[in-house]
Every structure is written in structure tokens, then in C-alpha cells.
């Protein structure tokens, strides 16, 4: 049962002394929030811990307490290995990225995640697809342990909930999510500020990137699939950061009548990161899985070898097939 899994996770934390906490490559709000919440809990339990990610913490998430202690693996690799690893918000082992190189050979991994496509790659696996975000599972874990988050931990939990539910709007916004949000607000979280800072505010480079993306938005003949692309040098040309791509795919999906929205991001090495969003009819996780990716029914992604033109042809065709089935 779920509470037995939470108990296992707590035991894993109690039994160890020194932990490595990691989330997925190109971390989003839930990934960074989950990382710092686990860090906060381990600190509370009197444990030693190291927080790490393959890349940089998006600058807009720097307001989260402990986010400045997350090691950027691409810039500085720890000169030691770790035996007890906690992976959060990672659907499969590959999502951990290069950080996996600093796991000891006999490492034990606790896998805490909410993706239905999670393949249970840990020794212990707390996989709860009913959760809207990994932070939801972590809040359940704190409650299970009888620990009340302080304002900083509550802020991180709220941030993960807010971002993974698209501002409490997606279909994963359950009564349980709202009940948690209510409790977090009571603990002092400034919900209005976080929503304004993360969801409303736009930087000028972000707006320029949006203008460029919208100028390339096209649709299938029946207008049920919409897609757009961003080329590798567009970020440099607009001054935008990779995180500024978040939300762009929704402009394709949000058009009336569109069932599948797709964003193609060309990477520097020529590979293409694909983001898919479904209005409900198509299971985009299944489409993503056919390209070795994964995710949720309404939000999924994969990485394709490219080149961009080829990726667009193949993925749009797969979406078309899924739609007509």
C-alpha cells in the first residue's frame, strides 16, 4: 500500500547517514522543489546530504531555499561516490543523466516519482501516479512522519504543485492537491507572489522567443495537430534561457479543436527534444514511448536523433496515427 511505501522511504532515510539527492535533467519546478524538500527533510533528520543536478537550476527558481546548494554536475563533479541515492521526479534511470556516474557500484537507490511510466528502477520505489507532482508525495511523506514543513519547505512544496498543475488548472488538480495548497497557504506560503513570479511575469527575451515560436506555428490539414519549432541558435539570438521554452507548447495545444500540440526544440548537437501535450483524446505518453520517451497521458516528451525536419515528419505522423486510432 501507499503508506507502507512511505514507511519504507522513511526507513531508508533513517537507516542511512549520507545521501545524494538528484532529480531529472533539464529540471522543472517540481524537480527542483522536490530536491530541496528532500534536502530539508534530511537536514531535519540530522543526516548529511548532497543535492545535485546534471545542469543548472533555472534562475527563476533561485528563490527556493537550498536551491543555491544544488551542485551543477556539468560544472563541478564531486570527487567521491555516493552509496545512498534518492531520485525524485525521474521516470527512468536515464532521466538522472550524467549524475549517475557518481553513484557507487553497490549504491542503493530510493525512487520517488509520480510518472505512470516509471519503470521502478530503484531498490525502493515510491511510485504514486495519482499524485499531481512529486512534491505531493513528499508532503504525504512529511505528514506520515508527523513533520510539519516550515515556511521554506512549504514554499517549495507549493511551487512544485503550482508548476506541475499549470497553476492549478490541469486535470491533475485533484481535491487532495487543493487541500494541500490550502494547508500550505496556512503555513505562510505567499501563493500570489509565486504565481505572479513564475506564471505571469515574462522576461523580454522570453517574449521574443514566444514571438518567434508563434510565427512558426502550423497545423495539420484537419487542424487537430499543431506544432512549432525552435532552432538551436534561437536561444542565443533572443537571449532566452532554456527554461523560457516552458509553456510554449501550450500555444499549439490551446487552439480550439487541436487535440495534440507539439514543440520541437533543436539541441546544439542536432538532436531534438520533443514536448507533447494532449487535449485528452490521444495518450501522448504512448506516442512518446514509441520514441523511447515517456510522461503522462496529457503531457509527455522524448528525445529524437534529428535532424529537425526528419523528427517533425516522424513525430507528427505518429501523433496522426494515434489520433486516428
Q: Which residues bind ligand 5GP (CB under 6 A)?
A: 91-92, 115, 117, 275, 293-296, 299-303
Q: CA 305, 310, 312, 315: dihedral to nearest 10 degrees? A: -70
Q: Which is nearer to Mn ion, 119 or 314 (CB)?
A: 119
Beta carbon of residue 58, minimum distance to Mn ion (angstroms, whole number): 12
Residue 140 near which of ligand 5GP, Mn ion, none (CB within 5-8 Å, type-dependent): none
Beta carbon of residue 209, minimum distance to Mn ion (angstroms, whole number): 21
**Dist. CA 189–CA 183, nearest whole Å:** 9
Residue 293 near which of ligand 5GP, Mn ion, none (CB within 5-8 Å, type-dependent): ligand 5GP
Q: Which is nearer to Mn ion, 30 or 259 (CB)?
A: 30
Residue 54 near which of Mn ion, ligand 5GP, none (CB within 5-8 Å, type-dependent): none
Matching residue, cell 516519482 = 113
Q: Which is nearer to Mn ion, 78 or 166 (CB)?
A: 166
Q: Which is nearer to ligand 5GP, 13 or 249 (CB)?
A: 249
Residue 234 near which of ligand 5GP, Mn ion, none (CB within 5-8 Å, type-dependent): none
Which spans in the chain are helix H? 2-15, 29-44, 134-145, 151-164, 175-186, 191-195, 204-215, 234-238, 248-253, 284-289, 308-324
Of 145, 85, 143, 96, the residue nearest 118 (C-alpha): 96
Binding residues vs Mn ion (CB under 5 A): 28, 30-31, 89, 133-134, 164
**Dist. CA 237–CA 189, nearest whole Å:** 37
Matching residue, cell 519504507 = 8
Strand bridging mode 82-88 / 71-72: unpaired
Beta carbon of residue 45, minimum distance to ligand 5GP (angstroms, whole number): 28
Q: Which is nearer to Mn ion, 5 or 135 (CB)?
A: 135
In degrees, to the nearest 5, what angle opens at C-alpha 93 toward C-alphas 20 and 235? Answer: 90
Beta carbon of residue 34, minimum distance to ligand 5GP (angstroms, whole number): 12
Q: Which is nearer to ligand 5GP, 115 or 224 (CB)?
A: 115
> Residue 302 is placed in which grid cell?
522524448
Amino acid at each position: 500500500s501507499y503508506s507502507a511505501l512511505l514507511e519504507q522511504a522513511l526507513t531508508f532515510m533513517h537507516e542511512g547517514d549520507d545521501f545524494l539527492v538528484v532529480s531529472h535533467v533539464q529540471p522543472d519546478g517540481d524537480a527542483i522543489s522536490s530536491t530541496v524538500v528532500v534536502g530539508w527533510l534530511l537536514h531535519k533528520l540530522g543526516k548529511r546530504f548532497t543535492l545535485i543536478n546534471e545542469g543548472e537550476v533555472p534562475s527563476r527558481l533561485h528563490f527556493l531555499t537550498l536551491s543555491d546548494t544544488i551542485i551543477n554536475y556539468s560544472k563541478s563533479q564531486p570527487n567521491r561516490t555516493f552509496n545512498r541515492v534518492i531520485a525524485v521526479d525521474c521516470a527512468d534511470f536515464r532521466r538522472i543523466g550524467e549524475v549517475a556516474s557518481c553513484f557507487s557500484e553497490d549504491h542503493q537507490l530510493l525512487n520517488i516519482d509520480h510518472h505512470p511510466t516509471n519503470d521502478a528502477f530503484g531498490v525502493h520505489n515510491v511510485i504514486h501516479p495519482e499524485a499531481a507532482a512529486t512534491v505531493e508525495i513528499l508532503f504525504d511523506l512529511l505528514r506520515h512522519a508527523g513533520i510539519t514543513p516550515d515556511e521554506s519547505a512549504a514554499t517549495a512544496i507549493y511551487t512544485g504543485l503550482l508548476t506541475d498543475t499549470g497553476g492549478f488548472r490541469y486535470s491533475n488538480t485533484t481535491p487532495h492537491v487543493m487541500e494541500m495548497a490550502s494547508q500550505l497557504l496556512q503555513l505562510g506560503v505567499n501563493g500570489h507572489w509565486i504565481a505572479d513570479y513564475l506564471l505571469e511575469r515574462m522576461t523580454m527575451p522570453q517574449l521574443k522567443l514566444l514571438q518567434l515560436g508563434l510565427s512558426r506555428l502550423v497545423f495539420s490539414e484537419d487542424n487537430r495537430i499543431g506544432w512549432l519549432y525552435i532552432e538551436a541558435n534561437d536561444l542565443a539570438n533572443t537571449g532566452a534561457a532554456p527554461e523560457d521554452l516552458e509553456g510554449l507548447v501550450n500555444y499549439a495545444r490551446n487552439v480550439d479543436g487541436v487535440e495534440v500540440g507539439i514543440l520541437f526544440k533543436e539541441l546544439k548537437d542536432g538532436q531534438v527534444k520533443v514536448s507533447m501535450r494532449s487535449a485528452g483524446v490521444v495518450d501522448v505518453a504512448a506516442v512518446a514511448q514509441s520514441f523511447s520517451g515517456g510522461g503522462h497521458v496529457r503531457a509527455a516528451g522524448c528525445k529524437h536523433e534529428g535532424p529537425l525536419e526528419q523528427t517533425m515528419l516522424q513525430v507528427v505522423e505518429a501523433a496522426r496515427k494515434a489520433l486516428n486510432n
